[in-house]
């Protein structure tokens, strides 16, 4: 792994940690102090704005493709969205390192009968470097009468024109507490 790929992964994981703790990534300066950018500064800011918009559009494209692969139960296409050394943590805490391990997990899931519902809770795209997606997830397994609710946090990096999953971490959704009884 090259030093730039390593740096991108470190930045992505730092972003995940910052966002989970409620800290925002600092805004990038786009001109001289005081905001008085000259003509070339304005052109550079416009180009940077177009690049950020292009990165957000690429993220949207790749996120939709990821979801189409999941909904179509297409393990091969889904794994195309994961880096070779990506990690997956299941709601039960089991850890899967590397694309072959993650692929095995999804292959096993896709062999089952289930329905799924995913609701986006938060999306953060930081230029063409890192992105974070927080999703409220529900899987229903009718053959067992079982419903599994969990929150997934997916961390992405942008490599060679595509957004790739670095880590996909899921934790059980909190079960609503029973209403207190008068006593």
**In terms of residue numbers, what domain contains 97?**
47-172
How many domains are there within the chain? Answer: 1
pLDDT digits (tens, 9 = 90+) for 115-137: 999 999 999 999 889 999 999 99
Asked if residue 83 belongs to a domain, the reply is yes
Place of tokens 């990534």: 25
CATH number, residue 136: 3.10.450.50
Query: What does the pLDDT average to over 57-61?
Result: 95
Q: Which residues are paired to 140 by β-bridges?
A: 115, 147
pLDDT digits (tens, 9 = 90+) for 4-21: 444 444 444 444 444 444
Rounded to two decimals, what is the model's pTM? 0.71
**In which region does residue 127 sit, left (phi positive, over 0), alpha (psi from -120 to 50) or beta (all else)?**
left
Asked if residue 23 belongs to a domain, the reply is no
Asked if residue 128 belongs to a domain, the reply is yes
Asked if residue 121 belongs to a domain, the reply is yes
Provide the pLDDT for residue 79: 98
Asked if residue 19 belongs to a domain, the reply is no
Q: What is the sign of the dihedral through the CA atoms of 29, 2, 13 and 154?
A: positive
Instruction: State the Cα angle at 16 between 119 and 22, rounded to 5°.
Output: 80
Taking CB atoms within 8 Å and a gap of at least 24, the contacts of 3-9 are 5/159, 8/129, 8/130, 8/157, 8/158, 8/159, 9/157, 9/166
pLDDT tier at 54, thresholds 50, 70, 90: confident
Which tokens is 122 given? Answer: 């938060």
Asked if residue 27 belongs to a domain, the reply is no
Provide the pLDDT for residue 150: 95
Asked if residue 96 belongs to a domain, the reply is yes
Which tokens is 72 given? Answer: 């179509």
Burial class (CB in 10 A: 0-12, 13-18, 19+), 163: buried
pLDDT digits (tens, 9 = 90+) for 135-168: 999 999 999 999 999 999 999 999 989 999 999 9
Asked if residue 156 belongs to a domain, the reply is yes
Q: What is the DSSP letter of 98?
A: S
3-state secondary structure 14-81: HHHHHHHCCCCCCCCCCCCHHHCCCHHHHHHHHHHHHHHHHHHHHHHHHHHHHHHHHHCCCHHHHHCC
Q: What percent of the chain has pLDDT over 90?
A: 61
């Amino acid at each position: 792994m090259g030093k730039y790929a390593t740096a991108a992964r470190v930045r992505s994981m730092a972003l995940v940690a910052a966002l989970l703790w409620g800290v925002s990534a600092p805004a990038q300066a786009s001109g001289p102090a005081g905001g008085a950018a000259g003509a070339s500064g304005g052109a550079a800011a416009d180009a940077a704005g177009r690049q950020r918009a292009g990165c957000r559009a690429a993220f949207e494209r790749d996120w939709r493709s990821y979801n189409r692969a999941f909904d179509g139960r297409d393990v091969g296409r889904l794994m195309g969205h994961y880096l070779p050394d990506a990690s997956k943590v299941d709601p039960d805490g089991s850890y899967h390192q590397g694309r072959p391990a993650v692929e095995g997990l999804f292959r096993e899931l896709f062999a089952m009968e289930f329905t799924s519902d995913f609701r986006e809770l938060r999306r953060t795209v930081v230029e063409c470097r890192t992105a974070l997606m927080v999703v409220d997830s529900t899987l229903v397994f009718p053959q067992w009468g079982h419903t599994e609710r969990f929150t997934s946090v997916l961390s992405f990096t942008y490599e060679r024109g595509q957004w790739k999953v670095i880590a996909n971490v899921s934790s059980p959704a909190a079960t609503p507490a029973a209403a207190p009884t008068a006593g």
